[in-house]
Structure 1
Amino acid sequence: MPKKTYAVRYVAGQPVERIFQPLASSQLGQALPPGEPLPGSGLLRVMVWNIFKQQRAEWLSVLQGFGKDAQLVLLQEAQTTPELVRFATSHYLAADQVPALIFPQHPSGVMTLSAAHPVYCCPLREREPLLRLAKSALVTVYPLHDGQLLMVVNIHAVNFSLGIDVYSKQLGPIGEQIINHQGPVIMAGDFNAWSRQRVLALYRFAERMMLHEVKFIDDQRRTAFGRPLDFVFYRGMKVQEASVLVTRASDHNPLLVEFEPYRGSAQGGPEARIVGLKNNAAGNKNSAAADK
Protein backbone atom coordinates (compact mmCIF):
# COMPACT_ATOMS: atom_id res chain seq x y z
CA MET A 1 0.00 0.00 0.00
CA PRO A 2 1.55 3.36 -1.03
CA LYS A 3 2.45 5.80 1.70
CA LYS A 4 0.18 8.80 2.11
CA THR A 5 1.57 12.07 0.82
CA TYR A 6 1.74 14.80 3.42
CA ALA A 7 3.23 18.19 4.16
CA VAL A 8 5.06 19.05 7.36
CA ARG A 9 4.29 22.49 8.81
CA TYR A 10 6.75 24.38 10.97
CA VAL A 11 5.45 27.31 13.02
CA ALA A 12 7.43 29.03 15.77
CA GLY A 13 6.40 27.90 19.23
CA GLN A 14 4.04 25.18 17.97
CA PRO A 15 4.40 21.40 17.52
CA VAL A 16 5.28 20.19 14.05
CA GLU A 17 2.10 19.34 12.17
CA ARG A 18 1.41 16.88 9.35
CA ILE A 19 -1.08 17.98 6.68
CA PHE A 20 -2.47 15.38 4.29
CA GLN A 21 -3.97 15.86 0.85
CA PRO A 22 -7.53 17.21 0.68
CA LEU A 23 -10.09 14.65 -0.37
CA ALA A 24 -10.73 16.46 -3.65
CA SER A 25 -9.36 19.47 -5.50
CA SER A 26 -12.96 20.66 -5.90
CA GLN A 27 -12.62 21.88 -2.32
CA LEU A 28 -11.01 24.95 -3.87
CA GLY A 29 -14.32 25.85 -5.44
CA GLN A 30 -15.90 26.04 -2.00
CA ALA A 31 -15.44 28.65 0.70
CA LEU A 32 -11.99 28.40 2.26
CA PRO A 33 -11.46 29.37 5.90
CA PRO A 34 -10.65 33.05 6.53
CA GLY A 35 -7.09 34.09 7.19
CA GLU A 36 -4.81 37.09 7.51
CA PRO A 37 -3.53 38.34 4.15
CA LEU A 38 0.07 38.34 3.04
CA PRO A 39 1.63 41.58 4.34
CA GLY A 40 2.20 44.47 1.94
CA SER A 41 -0.66 45.95 -0.01
CA GLY A 42 1.53 46.91 -2.98
CA LEU A 43 4.29 44.59 -4.15
CA LEU A 44 4.52 40.86 -3.57
CA ARG A 45 8.15 39.70 -3.41
CA VAL A 46 8.89 36.07 -4.25
CA MET A 47 12.17 34.14 -4.11
CA VAL A 48 12.55 30.78 -5.92
CA TRP A 49 15.62 28.65 -5.28
CA ASN A 50 16.81 25.06 -5.50
CA ILE A 51 18.94 25.15 -2.36
CA PHE A 52 20.87 21.91 -3.12
CA LYS A 53 20.14 20.38 0.32
CA GLN A 54 22.23 23.16 1.91
CA GLN A 55 25.39 21.31 0.89
CA ARG A 56 27.36 24.46 0.03
CA ALA A 57 28.61 27.25 2.22
CA GLU A 58 26.83 30.63 2.37
CA TRP A 59 23.32 29.27 1.67
CA LEU A 60 22.11 30.78 4.92
CA SER A 61 23.64 34.19 4.22
CA VAL A 62 21.87 34.24 0.82
CA LEU A 63 18.54 33.50 2.49
CA GLN A 64 19.18 36.07 5.19
CA GLY A 65 20.17 38.71 2.65
CA PHE A 66 17.47 38.17 0.06
CA GLY A 67 14.81 35.82 1.43
CA LYS A 68 13.95 37.79 4.56
CA ASP A 69 12.43 40.63 2.48
CA ALA A 70 10.24 38.29 0.42
CA GLN A 71 6.70 37.43 1.49
CA LEU A 72 7.10 34.03 -0.19
CA VAL A 73 10.20 31.84 -0.54
CA LEU A 74 9.84 28.72 -2.68
CA LEU A 75 12.69 26.29 -2.04
CA GLN A 76 13.46 22.99 -3.76
CA GLU A 77 15.74 20.31 -2.29
CA ALA A 78 15.24 21.91 1.10
CA GLN A 79 16.55 19.68 3.86
CA THR A 80 14.94 20.31 7.24
CA THR A 81 18.15 20.91 9.15
CA PRO A 82 17.90 22.84 12.43
CA GLU A 83 19.52 25.86 10.76
CA LEU A 84 16.93 26.06 7.98
CA VAL A 85 13.98 25.42 10.31
CA ARG A 86 15.31 28.10 12.66
CA PHE A 87 15.57 30.63 9.82
CA ALA A 88 12.12 29.74 8.50
CA THR A 89 10.30 29.96 11.80
CA SER A 90 12.06 33.15 12.92
CA HIS A 91 11.38 35.09 9.68
CA TYR A 92 8.08 33.57 8.48
CA LEU A 93 4.74 32.65 10.01
CA ALA A 94 4.65 29.24 8.33
CA ALA A 95 7.00 26.86 6.56
CA ASP A 96 5.44 23.93 4.71
CA GLN A 97 7.59 21.10 3.35
CA VAL A 98 6.65 18.02 1.34
CA PRO A 99 9.24 15.32 2.13
CA ALA A 100 10.39 13.63 -1.07
CA LEU A 101 13.64 12.00 0.00
CA ILE A 102 13.59 10.60 3.54
CA PHE A 103 17.13 10.80 4.86
CA PRO A 104 18.00 9.30 8.27
CA GLN A 105 17.89 12.68 10.00
CA HIS A 106 16.40 15.41 7.82
CA PRO A 107 13.98 14.85 4.90
CA SER A 108 14.45 16.80 1.67
CA GLY A 109 11.77 18.24 -0.62
CA VAL A 110 10.04 21.42 -1.69
CA MET A 111 9.43 23.93 1.08
CA THR A 112 7.36 27.13 0.94
CA LEU A 113 8.07 29.84 3.49
CA SER A 114 5.25 32.35 3.83
CA ALA A 115 4.60 35.58 5.72
CA ALA A 116 0.98 34.48 6.25
CA HIS A 117 -0.64 31.20 7.18
CA PRO A 118 -2.03 29.33 4.16
CA VAL A 119 -5.77 28.70 4.11
CA TYR A 120 -5.31 25.66 1.85
CA CYS A 121 -2.49 23.14 1.52
CA CYS A 122 -2.15 20.24 -0.91
CA PRO A 123 1.07 18.18 -0.96
CA LEU A 124 1.91 16.15 -4.07
CA ARG A 125 4.60 13.59 -4.91
CA GLU A 126 5.69 11.76 -8.05
CA ARG A 127 8.22 8.92 -8.18
CA GLU A 128 11.16 8.97 -10.59
CA PRO A 129 10.61 5.99 -12.92
CA LEU A 130 14.29 5.06 -13.25
CA LEU A 131 15.85 5.82 -9.85
CA ARG A 132 12.58 5.21 -7.93
CA LEU A 133 13.22 8.39 -5.97
CA ALA A 134 10.40 10.86 -5.37
CA LYS A 135 10.02 14.50 -6.37
CA SER A 136 7.53 16.71 -4.60
CA ALA A 137 5.26 19.66 -5.21
CA LEU A 138 3.17 21.82 -2.91
CA VAL A 139 0.03 23.86 -3.59
CA THR A 140 -0.86 26.52 -1.04
CA VAL A 141 -3.37 29.38 -1.04
CA TYR A 142 -3.04 32.74 0.73
CA PRO A 143 -5.43 35.69 1.14
CA LEU A 144 -4.44 39.02 -0.39
CA HIS A 145 -5.39 42.48 0.88
CA ASP A 146 -7.87 43.06 -1.94
CA GLY A 147 -9.88 39.98 -1.02
CA GLN A 148 -8.48 37.70 -3.70
CA LEU A 149 -6.90 34.34 -2.97
CA LEU A 150 -3.42 33.67 -4.33
CA MET A 151 -2.50 30.10 -5.29
CA VAL A 152 1.20 29.25 -5.05
CA VAL A 153 2.61 26.11 -6.68
CA ASN A 154 6.11 25.07 -5.63
CA ILE A 155 7.44 22.21 -7.76
CA HIS A 156 10.54 20.10 -8.22
CA ALA A 157 9.88 18.16 -11.40
CA VAL A 158 10.95 14.58 -12.06
CA ASN A 159 14.36 14.44 -13.65
CA PHE A 160 15.38 10.99 -14.91
CA SER A 161 12.69 9.59 -17.17
CA LEU A 162 12.38 8.38 -20.74
CA GLY A 163 9.97 10.48 -22.79
CA ILE A 164 7.57 12.88 -21.11
CA ASP A 165 4.84 10.56 -19.84
CA VAL A 166 5.84 10.79 -16.17
CA TYR A 167 6.79 14.46 -16.56
CA SER A 168 3.32 15.27 -17.86
CA LYS A 169 1.76 12.98 -15.25
CA GLN A 170 3.30 15.08 -12.48
CA LEU A 171 1.81 18.25 -13.96
CA GLY A 172 -1.67 16.70 -14.17
CA PRO A 173 -2.74 17.02 -10.50
CA ILE A 174 -1.29 20.53 -10.42
CA GLY A 175 -3.49 21.43 -13.37
CA GLU A 176 -6.55 20.14 -11.50
CA GLN A 177 -5.69 22.44 -8.61
CA ILE A 178 -5.25 25.48 -10.86
CA ILE A 179 -8.45 24.76 -12.78
CA ASN A 180 -10.46 24.76 -9.56
CA HIS A 181 -8.93 28.00 -8.30
CA GLN A 182 -10.51 31.38 -8.91
CA GLY A 183 -7.81 33.99 -8.46
CA PRO A 184 -4.18 34.81 -9.21
CA VAL A 185 -1.61 32.01 -9.47
CA ILE A 186 2.16 31.69 -9.13
CA MET A 187 3.75 28.42 -10.29
CA ALA A 188 7.51 28.22 -9.87
CA GLY A 189 10.39 25.92 -9.10
CA ASP A 190 12.92 23.59 -10.66
CA PHE A 191 11.15 22.10 -13.67
CA ASN A 192 14.12 20.08 -14.97
CA ALA A 193 13.14 21.17 -18.48
CA TRP A 194 16.42 20.02 -20.02
CA SER A 195 15.01 18.59 -23.26
CA ARG A 196 12.96 20.01 -26.12
CA GLN A 197 10.12 17.59 -25.31
CA ARG A 198 10.02 18.73 -21.70
CA VAL A 199 10.09 22.41 -22.59
CA LEU A 200 7.24 21.95 -25.05
CA ALA A 201 5.20 19.96 -22.52
CA LEU A 202 5.76 22.66 -19.90
CA TYR A 203 4.80 25.49 -22.24
CA ARG A 204 1.70 23.63 -23.43
CA PHE A 205 0.67 23.13 -19.82
CA ALA A 206 1.25 26.81 -18.98
CA GLU A 207 -0.78 27.87 -22.01
CA ARG A 208 -3.70 25.65 -21.02
CA MET A 209 -3.61 27.08 -17.51
CA MET A 210 -3.41 30.63 -18.93
CA LEU A 211 -0.10 31.20 -17.17
CA HIS A 212 2.51 33.69 -18.39
CA GLU A 213 6.25 33.13 -18.08
CA VAL A 214 8.41 35.59 -16.15
CA LYS A 215 11.21 36.80 -18.44
CA PHE A 216 14.67 37.65 -17.12
CA ILE A 217 16.64 40.28 -19.06
CA ASP A 218 20.03 39.23 -17.68
CA ASP A 219 19.23 35.53 -17.67
CA GLN A 220 21.71 33.78 -15.38
CA ARG A 221 19.53 30.77 -14.62
CA ARG A 222 21.14 27.36 -14.24
CA THR A 223 20.99 25.45 -17.54
CA ALA A 224 21.33 21.86 -18.70
CA PHE A 225 21.95 21.09 -22.37
CA GLY A 226 21.57 24.82 -23.00
CA ARG A 227 18.08 25.05 -21.47
CA PRO A 228 17.10 26.77 -18.20
CA LEU A 229 15.81 24.52 -15.42
CA ASP A 230 14.07 27.06 -13.16
CA PHE A 231 10.94 28.97 -14.15
CA VAL A 232 8.30 31.29 -12.72
CA PHE A 233 4.82 31.37 -14.26
CA TYR A 234 1.91 33.53 -13.18
CA ARG A 235 -1.57 34.81 -13.94
CA GLY A 236 -3.74 37.60 -12.55
CA MET A 237 -0.77 39.82 -11.66
CA LYS A 238 1.80 42.15 -13.19
CA VAL A 239 5.56 41.67 -13.00
CA GLN A 240 7.31 44.78 -11.72
CA GLU A 241 10.85 43.42 -11.53
CA ALA A 242 12.59 40.11 -12.16
CA SER A 243 16.23 39.21 -11.61
CA VAL A 244 18.56 36.25 -11.12
CA LEU A 245 21.03 36.28 -8.24
CA VAL A 246 24.38 34.75 -9.19
CA THR A 247 25.79 32.77 -6.26
CA ARG A 248 27.98 29.78 -5.47
CA ALA A 249 25.81 28.85 -2.49
CA SER A 250 23.95 26.23 -4.60
CA ASP A 251 24.13 24.60 -8.01
CA HIS A 252 21.11 26.79 -8.94
CA ASN A 253 20.83 30.57 -8.90
CA PRO A 254 17.88 32.11 -7.00
CA LEU A 255 15.11 33.86 -8.94
CA LEU A 256 13.75 37.10 -7.47
CA VAL A 257 10.42 38.42 -8.75
CA GLU A 258 8.25 41.33 -7.63
CA PHE A 259 4.56 41.12 -8.53
CA GLU A 260 1.80 43.68 -8.32
CA PRO A 261 -1.60 42.00 -7.92
CA TYR A 262 -4.39 43.25 -10.14
CA ARG A 263 -7.22 44.95 -8.31
CA GLY A 264 -10.28 42.74 -8.48
CA SER A 265 -10.68 39.72 -10.73
CA ALA A 266 -8.85 39.21 -14.00
CA GLN A 267 -10.35 40.18 -17.31
CA GLY A 268 -13.28 38.03 -18.33
CA GLY A 269 -14.18 37.20 -14.73
CA PRO A 270 -13.25 34.06 -12.80
CA GLU A 271 -16.25 32.07 -13.99
CA ALA A 272 -15.40 32.63 -17.66
CA ARG A 273 -11.76 31.82 -17.02
CA ILE A 274 -12.44 28.59 -15.14
CA VAL A 275 -14.89 27.37 -17.77
CA GLY A 276 -12.30 28.03 -20.44
CA LEU A 277 -9.64 26.15 -18.50
CA LYS A 278 -11.91 23.16 -17.95
CA ASN A 279 -12.74 23.04 -21.64
CA ASN A 280 -9.06 23.25 -22.52
CA ALA A 281 -8.19 20.51 -20.05
CA ALA A 282 -10.88 18.23 -21.42
CA GLY A 283 -9.99 18.98 -25.01
CA ASN A 284 -6.30 18.43 -24.37
CA LYS A 285 -6.56 14.66 -23.89
CA ASN A 286 -6.36 14.02 -27.63
CA SER A 287 -3.40 16.37 -28.11
CA ALA A 288 -1.60 14.84 -25.13
CA ALA A 289 -1.99 11.40 -26.64
CA ALA A 290 -0.66 12.66 -29.96
CA ASP A 291 2.41 14.13 -28.25
CA LYS A 292 3.58 10.83 -26.84
Structure 2
Amino acid sequence: MNRLHVSDRFRLIDLALLLFISFALTMTLSMIDPDLPSNQPTSPVSCEFFNTSGQLPQELQVVNWNIAKEPLAKVREALHNTSVNLLVLQESAVDEGFLFSPGHRALETTGVALESRVSPSKVCHWQSFEPIMLTPKAAIAASFPIAGSEDELLVINLHGVNFSWLLGTWKRQIRTAALLAKSHKGPIILAGDLNTWRYERSRFIKQVAEELGLAQPAYVEDNRTAPFGYPLDWILSRGINWTEVSAPNAELSDHNPILATGIIVTTAAED
Protein backbone atom coordinates (compact mmCIF):
# COMPACT_ATOMS: atom_id res chain seq x y z
CA MET A 1 0.00 0.00 0.00
CA ASN A 2 1.35 3.44 -0.92
CA ARG A 3 1.81 5.74 2.01
CA LEU A 4 1.24 9.47 1.86
CA HIS A 5 4.47 11.35 2.47
CA VAL A 6 4.59 14.23 4.92
CA SER A 7 5.20 16.69 2.07
CA ASP A 8 2.12 15.35 0.26
CA ARG A 9 -0.01 15.85 3.37
CA PHE A 10 1.15 19.43 3.59
CA ARG A 11 0.26 19.95 -0.06
CA LEU A 12 -3.25 18.69 0.64
CA ILE A 13 -3.53 21.02 3.65
CA ASP A 14 -2.32 23.93 1.52
CA LEU A 15 -4.86 23.06 -1.17
CA ALA A 16 -7.68 22.82 1.37
CA LEU A 17 -6.62 26.17 2.86
CA LEU A 18 -6.53 27.77 -0.59
CA LEU A 19 -10.02 26.46 -1.36
CA PHE A 20 -11.31 27.78 1.96
CA ILE A 21 -9.79 31.22 1.37
CA SER A 22 -11.26 31.32 -2.15
CA PHE A 23 -14.68 30.39 -0.81
CA ALA A 24 -14.46 32.97 2.00
CA LEU A 25 -13.37 35.68 -0.45
CA THR A 26 -16.25 34.84 -2.80
CA MET A 27 -18.76 34.99 0.04
CA THR A 28 -17.31 38.29 1.26
CA LEU A 29 -17.54 39.86 -2.19
CA SER A 30 -21.14 38.68 -2.52
CA MET A 31 -22.00 40.54 0.67
CA ILE A 32 -20.71 43.87 -0.63
CA ASP A 33 -23.11 46.27 -2.34
CA PRO A 34 -20.61 48.62 -4.01
CA ASP A 35 -21.61 51.86 -5.69
CA LEU A 36 -19.47 51.08 -8.71
CA PRO A 37 -18.83 54.11 -10.94
CA SER A 38 -19.59 52.19 -14.13
CA ASN A 39 -23.19 51.53 -13.11
CA GLN A 40 -25.52 53.00 -10.54
CA PRO A 41 -27.14 50.48 -8.18
CA THR A 42 -30.50 51.74 -9.46
CA SER A 43 -31.00 53.64 -12.70
CA PRO A 44 -33.17 56.78 -12.80
CA VAL A 45 -36.88 56.18 -13.25
CA SER A 46 -37.99 57.02 -16.79
CA CYS A 47 -41.70 57.70 -17.41
CA GLU A 48 -43.83 58.23 -20.50
CA PHE A 49 -47.40 59.59 -20.66
CA PHE A 50 -50.07 58.57 -23.16
CA ASN A 51 -53.56 59.54 -24.24
CA THR A 52 -55.80 56.52 -23.78
CA SER A 53 -59.53 55.98 -24.11
CA GLY A 54 -59.57 52.40 -22.78
CA GLN A 55 -60.62 51.50 -19.23
CA LEU A 56 -60.02 48.47 -17.06
CA PRO A 57 -63.18 46.77 -15.78
CA GLN A 58 -63.64 46.81 -12.03
CA GLU A 59 -63.66 43.00 -12.05
CA LEU A 60 -60.00 42.02 -12.15
CA GLN A 61 -58.32 38.71 -13.00
CA VAL A 62 -54.57 38.88 -12.38
CA VAL A 63 -51.76 36.37 -12.92
CA ASN A 64 -48.33 37.07 -11.44
CA TRP A 65 -45.63 34.64 -12.63
CA ASN A 66 -41.88 34.34 -13.04
CA ILE A 67 -41.87 32.23 -16.20
CA ALA A 68 -38.11 31.50 -16.12
CA LYS A 69 -37.54 32.51 -19.75
CA GLU A 70 -40.11 30.02 -21.06
CA PRO A 71 -41.72 30.87 -24.43
CA LEU A 72 -44.81 33.03 -24.10
CA ALA A 73 -46.76 30.59 -26.26
CA LYS A 74 -46.27 27.96 -23.54
CA VAL A 75 -47.39 30.44 -20.89
CA ARG A 76 -50.59 31.18 -22.79
CA GLU A 77 -51.18 27.45 -23.22
CA ALA A 78 -50.72 26.88 -19.49
CA LEU A 79 -53.26 29.64 -18.76
CA HIS A 80 -55.76 28.68 -21.46
CA ASN A 81 -58.49 27.87 -18.92
CA THR A 82 -57.85 31.03 -16.91
CA SER A 83 -59.66 34.32 -17.53
CA VAL A 84 -56.98 37.01 -17.31
CA ASN A 85 -57.21 40.74 -17.96
CA LEU A 86 -53.88 41.61 -16.32
CA LEU A 87 -50.79 39.45 -16.83
CA VAL A 88 -47.73 40.28 -14.72
CA LEU A 89 -44.58 38.39 -15.76
CA GLN A 90 -40.93 38.24 -14.76
CA GLU A 91 -38.11 36.69 -16.83
CA SER A 92 -40.24 37.23 -19.91
CA ALA A 93 -39.04 37.65 -23.47
CA VAL A 94 -39.99 40.73 -25.48
CA ASP A 95 -43.42 40.59 -27.11
CA GLU A 96 -45.28 43.27 -29.04
CA GLY A 97 -48.42 42.72 -26.97
CA PHE A 98 -46.69 43.48 -23.66
CA LEU A 99 -45.46 46.56 -21.88
CA PHE A 100 -41.83 45.59 -21.32
CA SER A 101 -38.81 46.67 -19.28
CA PRO A 102 -35.51 44.95 -20.18
CA GLY A 103 -33.32 43.27 -17.61
CA HIS A 104 -30.93 40.41 -18.39
CA ARG A 105 -29.31 40.38 -21.84
CA ALA A 106 -27.66 37.18 -23.04
CA LEU A 107 -28.71 35.19 -26.11
CA GLU A 108 -32.02 37.03 -25.81
CA THR A 109 -33.27 39.97 -23.78
CA THR A 110 -35.59 39.14 -20.90
CA GLY A 111 -37.20 41.35 -18.31
CA VAL A 112 -40.53 42.19 -16.71
CA ALA A 113 -43.73 42.50 -18.70
CA LEU A 114 -47.34 43.61 -18.30
CA GLU A 115 -50.16 42.62 -20.59
CA SER A 116 -53.62 44.17 -20.52
CA ARG A 117 -56.34 44.77 -23.07
CA VAL A 118 -56.30 48.40 -21.93
CA SER A 119 -53.61 50.92 -22.87
CA PRO A 120 -51.98 52.71 -19.91
CA SER A 121 -51.95 56.45 -19.29
CA LYS A 122 -48.41 56.30 -17.87
CA VAL A 123 -45.54 53.81 -17.98
CA CYS A 124 -42.34 54.01 -15.91
CA HIS A 125 -39.17 51.89 -16.19
CA TRP A 126 -36.05 51.47 -14.11
CA GLN A 127 -33.27 48.96 -13.53
CA SER A 128 -31.28 47.80 -10.53
CA PHE A 129 -27.99 45.95 -10.75
CA GLU A 130 -26.72 42.89 -8.95
CA PRO A 131 -23.63 43.69 -6.85
CA ILE A 132 -20.29 42.62 -8.39
CA MET A 133 -21.85 40.90 -11.44
CA LEU A 134 -23.87 44.00 -12.46
CA THR A 135 -26.63 41.84 -13.96
CA PRO A 136 -29.66 44.14 -14.38
CA LYS A 137 -32.99 43.42 -12.71
CA ALA A 138 -35.91 45.23 -14.29
CA ALA A 139 -39.02 46.94 -12.99
CA ILE A 140 -42.03 48.53 -14.66
CA ALA A 141 -45.00 50.55 -13.40
CA ALA A 142 -48.12 51.41 -15.36
CA SER A 143 -51.29 53.37 -14.58
CA PHE A 144 -54.58 52.18 -16.08
CA PRO A 145 -57.91 54.10 -16.17
CA ILE A 146 -60.78 52.26 -14.47
CA ALA A 147 -64.31 52.03 -15.85
CA GLY A 148 -66.81 54.22 -14.02
CA SER A 149 -64.18 55.87 -11.85
CA GLU A 150 -61.97 58.91 -11.69
CA ASP A 151 -59.23 56.71 -10.19
CA GLU A 152 -56.50 54.82 -11.99
CA LEU A 153 -54.95 51.48 -11.03
CA LEU A 154 -51.19 51.60 -10.55
CA VAL A 155 -49.51 48.25 -11.27
CA ILE A 156 -45.86 47.81 -10.28
CA ASN A 157 -44.03 44.72 -11.54
CA LEU A 158 -40.63 44.08 -9.96
CA HIS A 159 -37.93 41.43 -10.23
CA GLY A 160 -35.89 41.76 -7.07
CA VAL A 161 -32.10 41.87 -6.86
CA ASN A 162 -30.88 38.49 -5.64
CA PHE A 163 -27.30 38.71 -4.33
CA SER A 164 -27.47 41.88 -2.23
CA TRP A 165 -26.49 40.14 1.01
CA LEU A 166 -26.33 43.30 3.12
CA LEU A 167 -29.55 44.37 1.36
CA GLY A 168 -28.42 47.87 0.37
CA THR A 169 -28.99 47.52 -3.38
CA TRP A 170 -32.15 45.44 -2.93
CA LYS A 171 -33.67 47.92 -0.47
CA ARG A 172 -32.98 50.82 -2.85
CA GLN A 173 -34.84 48.91 -5.53
CA ILE A 174 -37.85 48.35 -3.27
CA ARG A 175 -37.83 51.96 -2.05
CA THR A 176 -37.94 53.21 -5.65
CA ALA A 177 -41.17 51.25 -6.11
CA ALA A 178 -42.43 52.61 -2.78
CA LEU A 179 -41.85 56.21 -3.90
CA LEU A 180 -44.00 55.63 -6.99
CA ALA A 181 -46.70 54.06 -4.84
CA LYS A 182 -46.64 56.97 -2.37
CA SER A 183 -47.31 59.46 -5.15
CA HIS A 184 -50.39 57.52 -6.35
CA LYS A 185 -53.79 58.19 -4.76
CA GLY A 186 -55.81 55.36 -6.31
CA PRO A 187 -55.72 51.57 -6.00
CA ILE A 188 -52.35 49.80 -6.30
CA ILE A 189 -50.99 46.37 -7.11
CA LEU A 190 -47.33 45.71 -6.28
CA ALA A 191 -46.41 42.29 -7.62
CA GLY A 192 -43.46 40.28 -8.81
CA ASP A 193 -40.65 37.98 -7.87
CA LEU A 194 -39.26 40.06 -5.01
CA ASN A 195 -36.56 37.50 -4.15
CA THR A 196 -37.55 37.47 -0.48
CA TRP A 197 -35.72 34.22 0.20
CA ARG A 198 -34.69 34.99 3.79
CA TYR A 199 -36.28 36.48 6.87
CA GLU A 200 -34.75 39.97 6.66
CA ARG A 201 -36.05 40.45 3.13
CA SER A 202 -39.54 39.20 3.94
CA ARG A 203 -39.70 41.40 7.02
CA PHE A 204 -38.66 44.50 5.04
CA ILE A 205 -41.32 43.89 2.38
CA LYS A 206 -43.99 43.58 5.06
CA GLN A 207 -42.73 46.79 6.69
CA VAL A 208 -42.84 48.73 3.40
CA ALA A 209 -46.28 47.31 2.62
CA GLU A 210 -47.59 48.50 5.99
CA GLU A 211 -46.17 51.99 5.39
CA LEU A 212 -47.92 52.14 2.01
CA GLY A 213 -51.20 50.69 3.24
CA LEU A 214 -50.76 47.58 1.09
CA ALA A 215 -52.02 44.20 2.25
CA GLN A 216 -51.43 40.57 1.32
CA PRO A 217 -54.44 38.58 0.14
CA ALA A 218 -55.60 35.41 1.86
CA TYR A 219 -54.63 32.37 -0.22
CA VAL A 220 -57.04 29.53 -0.84
CA GLU A 221 -54.02 27.47 -1.94
CA ASP A 222 -50.51 28.74 -1.31
CA ASN A 223 -47.79 26.85 -3.17
CA ARG A 224 -45.66 29.91 -3.86
CA THR A 225 -42.04 28.96 -4.48
CA ALA A 226 -40.21 29.21 -1.14
CA PRO A 227 -36.71 27.66 -1.37
CA PHE A 228 -35.77 28.54 2.25
CA GLY A 229 -39.26 28.72 3.71
CA TYR A 230 -39.95 32.32 2.59
CA PRO A 231 -42.08 32.89 -0.56
CA LEU A 232 -40.35 34.68 -3.44
CA ASP A 233 -43.47 35.86 -5.28
CA TRP A 234 -45.96 38.41 -4.02
CA ILE A 235 -49.13 40.30 -4.71
CA LEU A 236 -49.61 43.29 -2.41
CA SER A 237 -52.46 45.70 -2.94
CA ARG A 238 -54.76 48.40 -1.68
CA GLY A 239 -58.19 49.31 -2.96
CA ILE A 240 -58.96 45.80 -4.21
CA ASN A 241 -61.31 43.27 -2.63
CA TRP A 242 -59.87 39.89 -3.57
CA THR A 243 -62.50 37.17 -3.83
CA GLU A 244 -60.11 34.29 -4.57
CA VAL A 245 -56.32 34.05 -4.63
CA SER A 246 -54.33 30.86 -5.14
CA ALA A 247 -50.83 29.73 -6.04
CA PRO A 248 -51.25 26.29 -7.63
CA ASN A 249 -48.43 23.97 -8.60
CA ALA A 250 -47.27 24.35 -12.20
CA GLU A 251 -44.65 22.45 -14.17
CA LEU A 252 -43.74 25.14 -16.71
CA SER A 253 -41.43 27.20 -14.47
CA ASP A 254 -39.45 26.79 -11.26
CA HIS A 255 -41.89 29.38 -9.85
CA ASN A 256 -45.58 28.68 -9.31
CA PRO A 257 -48.01 31.37 -10.53
CA ILE A 258 -50.28 33.48 -8.37
CA LEU A 259 -53.85 33.63 -9.70
CA ALA A 260 -55.97 36.40 -8.20
CA THR A 261 -59.58 37.47 -8.80
CA GLY A 262 -61.06 40.59 -7.23
CA ILE A 263 -63.00 43.82 -7.55
CA ILE A 264 -61.40 47.24 -7.64
CA VAL A 265 -62.80 49.61 -5.03
CA THR A 266 -63.04 53.01 -6.71
CA THR A 267 -64.18 56.57 -6.35
CA ALA A 268 -67.14 57.11 -8.65
CA ALA A 269 -66.54 59.45 -11.54
CA GLU A 270 -68.25 62.81 -11.27
CA ASP A 271 -70.81 63.71 -13.96
Same fold (TM over 0.5): yes
1:190 & 1:132 partners in 2: Cα distance?
Answer: 18
2:67 aligned with 1:51, yes or no? yes
1:187 & 1:102 partners in 2: Cα distance?
Answer: 24
The 5 Å alignment of 1:1-292 reads 21-22=46-47, 33-38=51-56, 40-41=57-58, 43-54=59-70, 58-66=74-82, 69-80=83-94, 85=95, 89=97, 95-104=98-107, 106-147=108-149, 148-264=151-267
Match of 2:4 in 1: none
Q: Secondary structure at the match of 1:264?
A: coil
Equivalenced residue count is 229
2:253 & 2:52 partners in 1: Cα distance?
Answer: 37
Q: 1:55 to 1:71 in 2, by over 3 A?
A: closer
Please tell me whether the aligned partners of residues 101 and 138 of structure 2 are also in contact (alpha carbons under 8 angstroms).
Answer: yes
2:205 & 2:61 partners in 1: Cα distance?
Answer: 24
Match of 1:286 in 2: none
Q: Secondary structure at the match of 2:55?
A: coil
Q: Secondary structure at the match of 1:227?
A: coil
Q: Secondary structure at the match of 1:53?
A: coil
Q: Secondary structure at the match of 2:47?
A: coil
Please tell me whether the aligned partners of residues 56 and 250 of structure 1 are also in contact (alpha carbons under 8 angstroms).
Answer: no
Q: TM-score of the superposition, structure 2-length normalised?
A: 0.77
Task: Tell me by how many angstroms 1:193 deviates.
Answer: 0.5
Task: Tell me by how many angstroms 1:128 deviates.
Answer: 0.6
What is the letter of the counterpart of residue 36 of structure 1? G
Give the aligned CA root-mean-square deviation in angstroms.
2.5
Please tell me whether the aligned partners of residues 239 and 266 of structure 2 are also in contact (alpha carbons under 8 angstroms).
Answer: no
1:60 & 1:146 partners in 2: Cα distance?
Answer: 30
Q: TM-score of the superposition, structure 1-length normalised?
A: 0.72
1:256 & 1:112 partners in 2: Cα distance?
Answer: 15
Normalized per residue, the structure richer in helix is 1
1:44 & 1:102 partners in 2: Cα distance?
Answer: 32
What is the letter of the counterpart of residue 141 of structure 2? V
Please tell me whether the aligned partners of residues 110 and 154 of structure 1 are also in contact (alpha carbons under 8 angstroms).
Answer: yes
